Amino acid sequence: MSADFSDDAVHNMRNDPQTQTLAPRRAPGKVIETRPDTLRGLYPPIEPYESGMLDVGNGHRIYWERCGNPLGKPVVFLHGGPGGGCSPEHRRLFDPARYCITLFDQRGCGRSIPHASLEHNTTWDLVDDIERLRVKFGYEQWQVFGGSWGSTLALAYAQAHVNRASELIVRGIFTVRREELQWYYQTGASWLFPDRWEAFLAPIPLEERGDLMRAYRKRLIHPDEAVRIEAARAWSMWEGSTITLLPDDQLAEAFGDPHYAIAFARIENHYFVHDGFLTPNQLIDGAHRLRDVPGVIVQGRYDMATPAHTAWALHKAWPEADFYWAPDAGHAFSEPTILHWLIEATDRFASAS
């Protein structure tokens, strides 16, 4: 972690999450499971009013953009993956008249360079990058919004820099614990998607299937580009074909685009074989740090990629946050009830000081 950010005592988060003096808890948040009769949708499409590349060292340059109202409430959007990159739809989760929206492509993906790079690419490098962007734009605090892997990164950043998060909105909760990874990439989810699991297994010989993440790693860093692409597409399309409650073949095919898949699969796999560069249960154990941060947790009841067990564990560790179940949804932010509760959350916090 850069010395520029030592005032936030990030080392406490990394090395001893129980050392912070505990203040009295705020009142518990509400827990709601419903599908409203009228569902909110995305705001209209917008374009950035400025964008650029930030040199974050060690050969990495990250793409950033700002959208909406330059004088609006600051928010940073953290995309999924890791390795997924931002899309124009992500800008539309926030009222552009009331928010100044910062989006960026994390190291190695999207428009950031070098593409698909694994060097100097860890959770804590990304936490540093978020803080560099906050300092660059001169914000004392900003809202932190992340889904899936973005929820992991949002929790890591907010726990490390708790005084910099005005609010925290997280969706599809993922904390990179070993049991979460084993569920999706070794056992568990395969029982629900046996046909799609066969496609995921296809690049891996039978004798290597006892540890699929490591078997994939060997192929995703292979010197032969054809081997890398075959593995990347299989890895990426497994996720693209299992993250919605109802099948979405168009989404699955988008995940199979070779340029997208190679960054997505290589970076995800790199993080996952290293347990997210986190200690066991770190983000759940550290959730007590968030007790004074207004928060919202949104979770699809039938999320197969990041099952609800983890979201509930976060709720128990951080009961002050409001918890919204989407009773008719899987994992994707675009599923109607998940999207509704996310828009409701960003609207509610838009005027908060």
The DSSP result for 302-345, as a single string, is T-SSS-HHHHHHHHHH-TTSEEEEETT--S-TTSHHHHHHHHHH
Q: Looking at the predicted structure, is the pLDDT value of residue 20 above 90?
A: no
The answer to whether 72 touches 99, Cβ cutoff 8 Å, is: yes
For 336-353, the pLDDT digits (tens) are 999 999 999 999 999 886
Q: Looking at the predicted structure, is the pLDDT value of residue 278 above 90?
A: yes
Confidence (pLDDT) at 351: 87
Decide if 125 is catalytic: no
Decide if 353 is catalytic: no
Instruction: Out of 60, 90, 95, 148, pick the active-site residue.
Output: 148
Model confidence at 25, pLDDT cuts 50, 70, 90, reads low
- The rounded distance, in Å, linking the Cα atoms of 106 and 130 is 9
Confidence (pLDDT) at 7: 40
Which domains does the chain carry?
A: 31-176+278-351 (3.40.50.1820), 179-276 (no CATH)
- pTM for the whole structure: 0.93
Identify the residue with better confidence: 10 or 138. Answer: 138
When the pLDDT of each residue in the chain is averaged and rounded to a whole number, the result is 93
Confidence (pLDDT) at 19: 36
- The stretch 102-123 carries a mean pLDDT of 98
Order across the sheet with 295-300: list the strands.
Answer: 31-33, 322-326, 295-300, 165-171, 142-147, 73-78, 99-104, 60-68, 50-57
Instruction: Out of 125, 129, 303, 322, pick the active-site residue.
Output: 303
For 56-83, the pLDDT digits (tens) are 999 999 999 999 999 999 999 999 999 9
Sequence-distant (≥ 6) Cβ neighbours of residue 144 within 8 angstroms: 75, 76, 78, 130, 154, 157, 158, 165, 167, 168, 169
Instruction: Give 74's strand partners.
Output: 100
Q: Looking at the predicted structure, is the pLDDT value of residue 87 above 80?
A: yes
- The stretch 86-91 carries a mean pLDDT of 98
For 202-217, the pLDDT digits (tens) are 999 999 999 999 999 9
Confidence (pLDDT) at 271: 98
C-alpha dihedral, 42 to 325 to 141 to 130, nearest 10°: -80
Name the amino acid, one letter, at 319. P
Identify the residue with better confidence: 25 or 195. Answer: 195
Instruction: Out of 79, 270, 315, 331, pick the active-site residue.
Output: 331
Decide if 315 is catalytic: no
Confidence (pLDDT) at 169: 98
Q: Looking at the predicted structure, is the pLDDT value of residue 104 above 80?
A: yes
Model confidence at 26, pLDDT cuts 50, 70, 90, reads confident
